[in-house]
């Protein structure tokens, strides 16, 4: 059973500059403030009561945790040490920037028993980083990932395809460099235009064009496949929907969808389904078998994949059933004259789709 995450949002706190795309309060739906020890204890207790029997992970999201004054870092993490010792909290997680992770910081995080650090890398392309006003380099990201891994700390990397100056080729090249570092997991957030940001000004001026939804789905599908081939989990595709993000006038443009991750996975399943159905007689009636919990991904939103398959391959899907014994990325096709199985990893080599 996965641990329940108790989140504390410190939006923008510790950040040395404001990136062109960033308004963390609107994205996360929470204002940045440092919680006190009593506030943290009360929230952790409430989460534990709401999910009895599950282990607890405390996470500090947003901001640049390791750029906070060291006394603030020590106060926040120190207040959690008794809970870690007592077993009330299993692990600690925080987010930071690549250039805010040095040897002294890594040693401090080890002392405070931090188990996971998420790095806002966003891109490994120097031009994209410069245009986005990130203030760090790709080499900073490489050094940070290696230092944290050598210390035994799990490292998550956040990437943002579609930033100013980015392209599908650059985004995939960035991903390749990140995967070579063997991170523990990835989050992939296509760039959105949020009101009040410098990117919003560029968008209104016509100097920045965001990705279209279909374009972002295709690119993120390629990125997801590349990560799968390297055995690196992608734990999130697209921003988590929040009331603030969906408030009219906040999101100006960009490939936003509240179920973006499912769009990406459904697109990959459609490509695999059409590859499997190619060559069947026009008018064939077939059925598919999906892994546990993945029928909706295979069928697609509004049963779109089944309709597309009828249009492109001339086959009618009469049934989709679930088989818990199938691997998560594997599906089967059945028809009157035969049966075949295939895996998402059987799709053509990753490219800009």
Query: Considering only 6-10, 18-22, 225-229, which range has the smallest mean pLDDT?
Result: 18-22
Parent domain of 277: 270-346
Residue 299 counted as domain residue: yes
Residue-level pLDDT at 242: 85
CB 270 within 8 A of CB 342: no
CB 205 within 8 A of CB 193: no
Q: Specify whether 211 is located in the same domain as 322.
A: no
**SS3 state at 220:** helix
pLDDT tens for residues 173-187?
A: 999 999 999 999 999
Distance from C-alpha of 271 to C-alpha of 309, rounded to nearest angstrom: 9
Residue-level pLDDT at 14: 85
Question: What's the pTM?
Answer: 0.92
Distance from C-alpha of 55 to C-alpha of 234, rounded to nearest angstrom: 22
Q: Specify whether 286 is located in the same domain as 244.
A: no
Residue 351 counted as domain residue: no
Would the pLDDT of 245 be above 90? no
Q: Specify whether 224 is located in the same domain as 313.
A: no
Residue-level pLDDT at 15: 85
Q: Specify whether 234 is located in the same domain as 318.
A: no
Residue 215 counted as domain residue: yes
Q: Specify whether 144 is located in the same domain as 280.
A: no
Residue-level pLDDT at 32: 65
The pLDDT mean for the chain works out to 93
pLDDT tens for residues 88-137?
A: 999 999 999 999 999 999 999 999 999 999 999 999 999 999 999 999 99
Which band of pLDDT confidence, cut at 50, 70 and 90, is reported for residue 26? Answer: low
Domain end position, chosen among 215, 234, 258 = 258
Distance from C-alpha of 127 to C-alpha of 149, rounded to nearest angstrom: 27
How does DSSP assign 5-74, residue by residue? EEEEE-TTTT-SS--TT--HHHHHTS---PPPHHHHHHHHHHHHHHSTT--EEEEEESS-GGGS-HHHHH
Residue-level pLDDT at 62: 87
Residue 167 counted as domain residue: yes
Query: Considering only 188-197, 202-211, 237-246, which range has the smallest mean pLDDT?
Result: 237-246
Query: Considering only 64-78, 154-168, 238-252, which range has the smallest mean pLDDT?
Result: 238-252
Residue 353 counted as domain residue: no
pLDDT tens for residues 320-330?
A: 999 999 999 99
Query: Considering only 11-20, 64-73, 127-136, 258-267, which range has the smallest mean pLDDT?
Result: 11-20
Residue 322 counted as domain residue: yes
CATH number at residue 304: 3.40.30
Q: Specify whether 89 is located in the same domain as 218.
A: yes
CB 190 within 8 A of CB 255: yes
What's the angle, vertex CA 245, arms to CA 240 and CA 246, rounded to 5? 105
Which band of pLDDT confidence, cut at 50, 70 and 90, is reported for residue 1? Answer: confident
Residue 265 counted as domain residue: no
| Average pLDDT for 255-277 | 96
Residue 275 counted as domain residue: yes
Distance from C-alpha of 144 to C-alpha of 124, rounded to nearest angstrom: 13
Domain end position, chosen among 212, 237, 258 = 258
Which band of pLDDT confidence, cut at 50, 70 and 90, is reported for residue 17? Answer: confident
Domain end position, chosen among 206, 235, 258 = 258
User: With pLDDT > 90 as the criterion, what percentage of the chain qualifies?
Assistant: 87
| Average pLDDT for 190-199 | 95
Distance from C-alpha of 112 to C-alpha of 105, rounded to nearest angstrom: 11
Q: Specify whether 11 is located in the same domain as 92.
A: yes
Name the CA radius of gyration of the chain, rounded. 22
Residue-level pLDDT at 351: 45
Q: Specify whether 65 is located in the same domain as 179.
A: yes
Q: Specify whether 179 is located in the same domain as 252.
A: yes
Query: Considering only 13-27, 280-294, 300-314, which range has the smallest mean pLDDT?
Result: 13-27
| Average pLDDT for 2-14 | 90
Would the pLDDT of 353 be above 60? no
CB 204 within 8 A of CB 156: no
Distance from C-alpha of 62 to C-alpha of 215, rounded to nearest angstrom: 27
Q: Specify whether 211 is located in the same domain as 281.
A: no
CB 9 within 8 A of CB 32: yes
Give the count of domains, the chain. 2
CATH number at residue 66: 3.20.20.70
Q: Specify whether 55 is located in the same domain as 185.
A: yes
Would the pLDDT of 281 be above 70? yes
Q: Specify whether 43 is located in the same domain as 165.
A: yes
Residue-level pLDDT at 350: 45
């Amino acid at each position: 059973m996965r641990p329940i995450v108790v989140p504390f949002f410190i939006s923008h706190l510790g950040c040395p500059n404001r990136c062109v795309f960033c308004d963390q309060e609107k994205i996360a739906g929470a204002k940045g403030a440092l919680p006190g020890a009593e506030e943290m204890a009360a929230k952790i207790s409430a989460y534990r009561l709401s999910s009895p029997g599950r282990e607890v992970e405390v996470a500090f999201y947003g901001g640049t945790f390791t750029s906070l004054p060291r006394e603030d870092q020590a106060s926040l993490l120190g207040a959690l040490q008794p809970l870690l010792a007592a077993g009330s909290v299993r692990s600690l997680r925080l987010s930071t920037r690549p250039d805010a992770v040095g040897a002294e910081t890594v040693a401090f995080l080890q002392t405070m028993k931090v188990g996971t650090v998420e790095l806002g890398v966003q891109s490994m392309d120097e031009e994209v980083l410069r245009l986005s006003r990130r203030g760090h380099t790709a080499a900073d990201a490489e050094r940070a990932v290696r230092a944290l891994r050598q210390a035994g700390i799990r490292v998550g990397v956040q990437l943002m395809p579609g930033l100013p100056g980015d392209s599908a080729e650059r985004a995939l090249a960035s991903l390749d460099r990140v995967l070579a570092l063997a991170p523990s997991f990835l989050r992939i957030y296509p760039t959105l235009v949020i009101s009040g940001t410098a990117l919003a000004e560029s968008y209104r001026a016509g100097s920045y064009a965001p990705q279209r939804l279909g374009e972002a789905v295709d690119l993120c599908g390629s990125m997801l496949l590349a990560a799968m081939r390297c055995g690196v989990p992608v734990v999130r595709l697209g921003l988590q929907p929040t009331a603030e993000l969906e408030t009219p006038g906040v999101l100006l443009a960009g490939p936003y969808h509240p179920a973006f991750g499912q769009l990406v996975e459904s697109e990959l399943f459609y490509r695999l389904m059409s590859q499997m159905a190619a060559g069947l007689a026009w008018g064939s009636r077939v059925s598919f078998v999906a892994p546990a919990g993945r029928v909706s991904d295979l069928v697609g939103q509004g049963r779109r994949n089944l309709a597309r398959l009828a249009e492109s391959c001339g086959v009618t899907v009469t049934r989709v059933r679930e088989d818990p014994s199938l691997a998560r990325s594997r599906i089967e096709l059945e028809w009157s004259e035969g049966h075949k199985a295939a895996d998402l990893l059987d799709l053509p080599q990753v490219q800009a789709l």
